[in-house]
Structure 1
Amino acid sequence: MSASPIYGLLLSGGASRRMRRDKAQLSYAGKPQLLRAWRLLSAVTERAFVSMRESQRDDPLRAGLPQLVDSYDAIGPAAGILSAQDAWPKAAWLVIACDLPLLDEATLRTLIAARDPSKDATAFTSRFDGLPEPLCALWEPSSHAMLKQRYQAGSFCPRKALIQANIALLPAAGDALDNINTPEEFEQMQRQLESQS
């Protein structure tokens, strides 16, 4: 049996409360983070989509990219993952969050190369707590029933889903999956990336 095709899902539907502005719009070295992440994802997958809430559909940054609008109400990243799986149930989904400015193509290729289609997902270990990282992970079609069941039971956390699922867990990817949540973290990351470019 051949493995399912890999589609990409860039999660950009978060409310960004701690950042107090849309994280997709944050710019590093002159490029909006949404577009930086989009280029990475579309370089390694057959097709890629930007996941968003209905209210973000006409945002100029998102409007020019293939969109997948959440069909679940405000349940966080699980809304995007479930909506993608509902739309293309036979695809495996390489899901990344839009607030990972250090993520690179090599890290995504490492994840894809280590893919085990017989598992529910392939994910990196967090370098902070040793738990699976759900927002840079490859979710197989088999994970859909489990995620849907958890959703119906009122459990929306993708990380807890991975902890309970049958997954391939890879070593931490250095700082590639460090995310940015506050204006202070953004300023620090901006300085770091501009000094490297």
Structure 2
Amino acid sequence: MSAPLSALLLTGGASRRMQADKALLDYAGQPQLLRAWALLRHVEVVQAFVSLRPDQCGETLRGSLPPLVDSVDSVGPVAGILSAQQAFPGHAWLVIACDLPLLDARTLRALVAARQPAKDATAFVSRHDDLPEPLCAIWEPSSAPLLRQRFDAGNYCPRKALLQLQIHALPSPGSALDNVNTPGELLQAHQQLETS
């Protein structure tokens, strides 16, 4: 029997390269946080949370959604994933980064439909380097021991964790997983959304 699937929207990043909170960036008149949250209506999960750092708890927009506060050192997305796995150890986690403005419901449904609970994770591969994309992926409970072991050893890259796990790799969904980290990438994303 497969583990219940919960969803985690990662919003705890420091947004250093963007120099603005990526979750609050406006796309078509709506903050990216709410755009990404709305996508979760298109997949069946038992519960959904917004992942955040402890110092973000008083932020108004994040506070309007169910929070899951980092319970480990906030060292990037792995902190959110580990915190979710610790809070609900028997659950699989559909993890989505909040800096994917081109992500659409079709891509998210395809990921959930392709889930293979016997693997440690189900993930798309990047269109840029054919490596697994960890921040629009399903992390099964079996991934938790390795992720924790790497964290304790000071290795915080979730992509490198996926490379050590047994994963079900899906073909790239094209630009849907292009993330936005810089003002230049933000401009490109706006242009792409306007023409689509």
Structure 1 contact 93–139 (Cα < 8 Å) conserved: yes
TM-score between the two structures when normalised by the length of structure 2: 0.96
2:9: which partner in 1? 10
2:74: which partner in 1? 74
CA distance in 2, matches of 1:97, 1:104: 13
* Local SS of the residue matching 1:162: helix
Summarize deviations over 1:45-91 as a string: whole Å, max 9, x none: 22110000011111111011000000111211000000000000111
Could you tell me which runs of 5 or more consecutive residues in structure 1 were left unpaired when the two chains were aligned. none
Q: Which deviates the most, 78-87 or 40-49?
A: 40-49
List structure 1 segments (4+ residues) > 4 angstroms apart after TM superposition: none
Could you tell me which runs of 5 or more consecutive residues in structure 2 were left unpaired when the two chains were aligned. none
Identity across matched positions, percent: 64
CA distance in 2, matches of 1:76, 1:24: 14
CA distance in 2, matches of 1:21, 1:176: 22
CA distance in 2, matches of 1:195, 1:107: 19
Tell me the CA shift for residue 187 of structure 1: 2.1
Aligned residues: 195
Summarize deviations over 1:137-165 as a string: whole Å, max 9, x none: 00000001111111111111100000010
Tell me the CA shift for residue 43 of structure 1: 3.3
User: Which letter maps to 2:186?
Assistant: F
TM-score between the two structures when normalised by the length of structure 1: 0.96
Is residue 163 of structure 2 the alignment partner of residue 163 of structure 1? yes
User: Which letter maps to 1:16?
Assistant: S
* Local SS of the residue matching 2:83: helix
User: Which letter maps to 1:145?
Assistant: P
